Amino acid sequence: MMLTQSAAFFDLDGTLIPGSANIPLAKAAFREGLVTPTELARDLRNGLSFLLQGASDERSAQVRDRILAAVAGHPAAKVEALGDHFMDELVASLQPALTEVLAEHRAAGRDCIVLSASPTEIVSRFARETGLDLGVGTTSERDDQGRYTGRLAGPFCYREGKVTVMKQLAATRGYDLAASYAYSDSASDLPMLTAVGHPVAVNPEPELRAIAEERGWPVVETAALPRVSLTSWRSLVRFGAAVRDRMSGSPSRALPA
């Protein structure tokens, strides 16, 4: 197939939105009796850990397995309806800086696609309601009666799994990945970022910020204060400077990449 266009791929949690979509999803699942109070508490702890430290392979796998176990045997329509409880709020949390980025890509004629480890039911609906061209997440298998089996139907949309989805889309939609863009806040998305010609870090966690600095990648700042590592002197100095600027009323500025 002849490559005809480029695309812009976006991570969801921490990139397009400031937190994790799995937090409101877990709360909605609890209200509908799909998870226990203990399981909800665990999910909320995982969500807090994500906000403070970013994604990790272990936590992401735990969330995946928790969701698969929780929905097994339930009608897919019931799970899809969970978005009714929080989708408006989730859409409203779209980062203003990313709204501008999305507008720029649309003006350039690029498709805007969100890729996330979160359930496809949530990711695809978020994409529709924010005007993105496509949303792909982790897809759970369904049986002939439309009930979840507790198994995956396709790749876990995390790390290399996102690249698998990107390559599939490139083959079917004619995207030139070398001319495409990718945006993420997490080093766990390095496979996605390095699969395109134009990687961009968004409010990056410390590990990704260091990589972006080393490789000269652009950085989009979405928060007044940077995410820092408490064990890195350079990171603490950066954080202190940002706090000083904010307290002194200095104009907000993008921190150097």
Nearest to 68 by CA among 34, 18, 115: 34
Nearest to 227 by CA among 246, 252, 212, 208: 208
The secondary structure of residue 7, as a DSSP letter, is E
Cα distance between residue 246 and residue 240, in whole Å: 10
**The two structure tokens encoding residue 114:** 């969100």
* Residues belonging to the chain: 257
Nearest to 257 by CA among 228, 214, 225: 214
Q: Are 232 and 212 in contact (CB under 8 A)?
A: no
Q: Are 148 and 43 in contact (CB under 8 A)?
A: no
Q: Are 169 and 7 in contact (CB under 8 A)?
A: yes
**The two structure tokens encoding residue 105:** 């890509």
Enzyme catalytic residues: 11, 13
